[in-house]
């Protein structure tokens, strides 16, 4: 089994192989395990896109998805994450997709034999979101080298920003940031922060982030003021470079991070990101459940692919 806890688990070659495989799934490739295989999705935080995307991906691969809801499980009786994971492993579950509010929760699961796929850990990492973002960028530009990518918004609390910044730099892109002072992540150098005007006029990819009110200790930021200062307004979209694109991991706060009229505009790849997430998660699950390094020689290709 091969875990996916952070993007650091993946070499550049593995990332490109996952993108290639996800595109093949998107084009109709079919694969299913050689034997009955159980997986479980443990979401300790709310989720629509990630949870549903994983579940559809699992069903398309012919996996048996074990029903699990935190609200009706023994978690409410005080069961720890480790004991829950160990229980599911004992029942024969081969892969656990886990979203948890604790950063690096996966460190307490290092003795679990089932594959751990990180669906998001606090403000830490979100590797499958990063991979689907990379797939979307690659399909658009066919390379990463020298692309100017600006991540805008709540940098400090964003696991998407953290995962994407590391890997995009590793793949050769130039990553910059725009954020209010209180949401800057000071682990990045000061010169990595640019003005909103520079971001709009020079970026190949403008990656907007959701304001994560649930992780803030103070009251809500003035949303209208945020939109005017850091949001993608209709005027700013007009000032973007030709062929540059807008991305956002969603859920979207319409009229805050982006004007509602721009959510589905020609430059927007927001719903494309969601579509790509399905195929990327199929590729990630196949990687986790395929014991051999290359994987493909053990593929069990089926002739007909039943839809979920």
* Spatial distance between the Cα atoms of 41 and 50, rounded to a whole number of angstroms: 10
**The pLDDT of residue 263 is above 60:** yes
Would the pLDDT of 1 be above 70?
no
Q: How many CB atoms lie within 10 A of CB 49?
A: 16
- What pLDDT does 197 receive? 97
pLDDT cut 70: percent of the chain above it: 91
C-beta of residue 258 within 8 angstroms of C-beta of residue 208? yes
The predicted model gives 108-121 an average pLDDT of: 96
Split at pLDDT 50, 70, 90, the class of 222 is confident
> For position 291, what pLDDT does the model report?
62
**Phi and psi for 281 in degrees, rounded to 5?**
-70, -30
With cut-offs at 50, 70 and 90, classify the pLDDT of residue 273.
very high
> If pLDDT is split at 50, 70 and 90, which confidence band does 216 have?
low
- Tell me: cis bond preceding 158? Omega within 30 of 0 counts: no
Q: Are 38 and 161 in contact (CB under 8 A)?
A: no
pLDDT score recorded for residue 215:
53
88-92, 137-141, 293-297: the lowest-pLDDT one: 293-297
State the CB neighbour count (10 A cutoff) for residue 307: 6
pLDDT over 70 (residue 293): no
Q: What is the band of 289 on the pLDDT scale with cuts at 50, 70, 90?
A: very high
* Element of type H or E holding 96: strand 93-100
Average per-residue pLDDT in the chain? Answer: 91
pLDDT, residue 302, reads 38
């Amino acid at each position: 089994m091969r875990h996916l806890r952070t993007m650091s688990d993946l070499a550049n070659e593995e990332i490109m192989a996952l993108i290639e495989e996800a595109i093949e799934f998107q084009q109709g490739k079919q694969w299913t395990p050689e034997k009955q295989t159980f997986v479980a999705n443990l979401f300790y935080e709310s989720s629509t896109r990630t949870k549903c995307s994983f579940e559809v991906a699992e069903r398309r691969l012919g996996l048996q998805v074990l029903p699990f809801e935190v609200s009706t499980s023994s978690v409410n009786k005080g069961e720890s994450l480790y004991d829950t994971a160990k229980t599911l492993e004992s029942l024969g579950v081969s892969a656990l997709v886990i979203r948890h509010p604790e950063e690096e929760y996966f460190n307490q699961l290092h003795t679990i034999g089932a594959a751990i796929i990180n669906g998001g850990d606090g403000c830490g990492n979100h590797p499958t979101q990063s991979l689907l973002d990379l797939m979307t960028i690659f399909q658009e530009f066919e390379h990463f080298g020298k692309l100017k990518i600006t991540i805008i918004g709540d940098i400090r609390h964003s696991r998407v920003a953290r995962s994407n910044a590391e890997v995009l730099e590793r793949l050769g892109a130039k990553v910059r940031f725009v954020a209010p002072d209180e949401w800057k992540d000071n682990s990045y150098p000061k010169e990595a922060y640019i003005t909103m005007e520079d971001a709009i006029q020079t970026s190949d990819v403008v990656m907007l982030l959701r304001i994560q009110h649930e992780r803030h200790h103070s009251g809500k930021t003035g949303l209208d003021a945020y939109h005017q200062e850091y949001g993608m307004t209709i005027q700013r979209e007009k000032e973007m470079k030709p062929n540059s694109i807008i991305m956002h991991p969603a859920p979207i706060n319409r009229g805050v991070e982006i004007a509602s009229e721009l959510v589905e505009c020609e430059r927007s790849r927001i719903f494309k990101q969601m579509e790509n997430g399905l195929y990327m998660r199929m590729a990630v699950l196949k990687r986790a459940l395929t014991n051999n390094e290359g994987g493909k020689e053990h593929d069990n290709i089926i002739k007909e692919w039943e839809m979920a």
